Amino acid sequence: MAPTPDTWQEITDRQPPVPGHIQPHLDDRTRRDASAFIWTQFTHIEPAFRATHD
Query: Looking at the domain assignment, is residue 18 inside a domain?
Result: no
Is 44 within a domain?
yes
pLDDT at 51: 59
What's the pLDDT at 53?
55
Residue 46 confidence (pLDDT): 61
* Count of structural domains within the chain: 1
Position 39 in a domain: yes
pLDDT digits (tens, 9 = 90+) for 1-54: 667 888 888 888 888 888 888 888 888 888 888 877 877 777 776 656 655 655
4 vs 8, 17, 19, 23, 41, CA distance in Å? 6, 22, 27, 22, 19
Name the pTM for this structure.
0.51
pLDDT at 11: 84
* Per-residue pLDDT at 45: 67
Range of the domain at 50: 27-54
User: Is residue 22 situated within a structural domain?
Assistant: no
